[in-house]
Amino acid sequence: MTDQQATLGVGMIGYAFMGAVHSHAWRSAHRFFDLPLHPRMRVVCGRDPDRVAEAAERMGWDGSSTSWQEVVARDDIDLVDVCTPGDTHAEIAIAALEAGKHVLCEKPLANTVAEAEAMAAAADRAAADGVRAMVGFTYRRVPAIALARRLVAEGRLGEVRHVRAQYLQDWLVDPEAPLSWRLDKARAGSGALGDIGAHVVDLTQHIVGDTIHEVSGQLETFVKERPVATGSSGLTAAGGPERGPVTVDDAAVFLARFSGGALGVYEATRFATGRKNAIRIEVNGSLGSVAFDFEDMNVLHFHDATLPDEEAGFRRIVVTEPGHAWIGGWWPPGHGLGYEHGFTHQVVDLVTALGEGTEPAPSFADGLQVQRVLAAVESSSDTRAWQEIPT
């Protein structure tokens, strides 16, 4: 940091899993990349004063607060980073934008289309005064994904015809796994569909440079009730654990048609036994294909169908060269990156856009479009009919 470099005061709301990885990104970005602004981790906010104070010390924040309203009102806060459950996104983000603070909001943007529309409208109003908003679809910042997008944009795949996407996890396979806020529709909005399905919806639209036009889908909840601790013991009179309803989906599958005519097949589940965080994307075009699996995240497979048949086949590209997106800020070729680096790249791109006065991506409008896809899938599951996505 130079004496003339401006400081970007950051306040983060939420300090659990997403708060931890966002904190790592805010700590590391300016140490590896030349940024136009110096992020200063001023305050982290949570409901429990002791736990949030401990989190602030452990994760490198200057201080802590139990009031997000106080954080938003502070003069030394330039950006509010929203890492809370979905039911609070709209209220916090809109208040921050109206207070003249830039906003980074975790995905999915909101729990409902109406909330997302209000957030996108607030972002549009704030943009007139130079206040920026971005939604955190961090997997866009994986270098192999950036290469896939580049190959499609350069026409190396020709006309895109097929898109296949899976996001597979297994952390809910055990029917005795306890209830959490992620299984409560009032707080999470949806289950696998919004939590992880939102990622592959955004990723595929980002890679192919096109939007989903209509969907036909099904949602399923395999385990309808789970243990929940209530009272001092958390046990029923009969001695068994109290149980509560699961009000979100465990799995979502849907077909999609893109505006440009490509066909899409999607799956998002938290019941794929043995799969911890498998994001699988394949795009087939008239001139070639790309394939990606997050469990081998530093690799992109590319098939060039214009080569002679004798040379046909997928080529394995290790995406760790200095010319690949973001790689130049890190390690020598072949020294792979991990999950956390995407969040650092997210901070790099956001702070760079703020310094340049340009719009960061993905925008709240992009988040709204994904929200509309999620809502259409849910509606299709209810009606057993194809649903169009409003533009």
Residue 99 lies in a domain: yes
CATH of the domain at 62: 3.40.50.720
177 and 323 together in one domain: yes
Number of folded domains that form the chain: 2
238 and 365 together in one domain: yes
Residue 126 lies in a domain: yes
pLDDT digits (tens, 9 = 90+) for 298-343: 999 999 999 999 999 999 999 999 999 999 999 999 999 999 999 9
Q: By residue range, what is the domain housing residue 130?
A: 6-139
CATH of the domain at 160: 3.30.360.10
Predicted confidence at residue 107, as pLDDT, reads 97
Helix or strand holding residue 79 (H, E): strand 79-82
100 and 161 together in one domain: no
* Integer Cα distance of 68 and 82 in angstroms: 10
Residue that finishes a domain, picked among 81, 111, 139: 139
Residue type, 66: T
**Contact criterion met (CB below 8 Å) for 244 and 263:** no
pTM value is 0.95
67: Cα separation from own chain's centroid: 25
Residue 81 lies in a domain: yes
* Integer Cα distance of 378 and 385 in angstroms: 11
- The whole-chain average pLDDT of the chain stands at 95
347 and 206 together in one domain: yes
**Size of the chain, expressed as the number of residues it contains:** 391
Residue 4 — pLDDT band, cuts 50, 70, 90?
low
Residue 337 lies in a domain: yes
152 and 223 together in one domain: yes
pLDDT digits (tens, 9 = 90+) for 163-181: 999 999 999 999 999 999 9
Higher pLDDT, 349 or 232: 349
The residue assigned the tokens 């949602």 is: 219
- Strand 263-269 versus strand 278-285 pairing type: unpaired
Residue 237 — pLDDT band, cuts 50, 70, 90?
very low
Residue 1 lies in a domain: no
174 and 314 together in one domain: yes
196 and 115 together in one domain: no
| Tokens matching residue 234 | 């958390």
User: What count of other Cβ atoms lies within 10 Å of the Cβ of residue 307?
Assistant: 12
107 and 158 together in one domain: no
42 and 105 together in one domain: yes
Residue 30 lies in a domain: yes
83 and 232 together in one domain: no
Residue 1 — pLDDT band, cuts 50, 70, 90?
very low
Residue that finishes a domain, picked among 83, 108, 139: 139
**What SS3 state is found at 7?**
strand
135 and 145 together in one domain: no
Is the confidence at residue 54, as pLDDT, over 90? yes
* Integer Cα distance of 124 and 367 in angstroms: 13
Residue that finishes a domain, picked among 139, 160, 180: 139
Residue 224 lies in a domain: yes
**Mean pLDDT across 60-76:** 98
219 and 293 together in one domain: yes
Predicted confidence at residue 5, as pLDDT, reads 72
Task: For the chain, give the percent of residues with pLDDT over 90.
Answer: 94
**Contact criterion met (CB below 8 Å) for 169 and 270:** yes
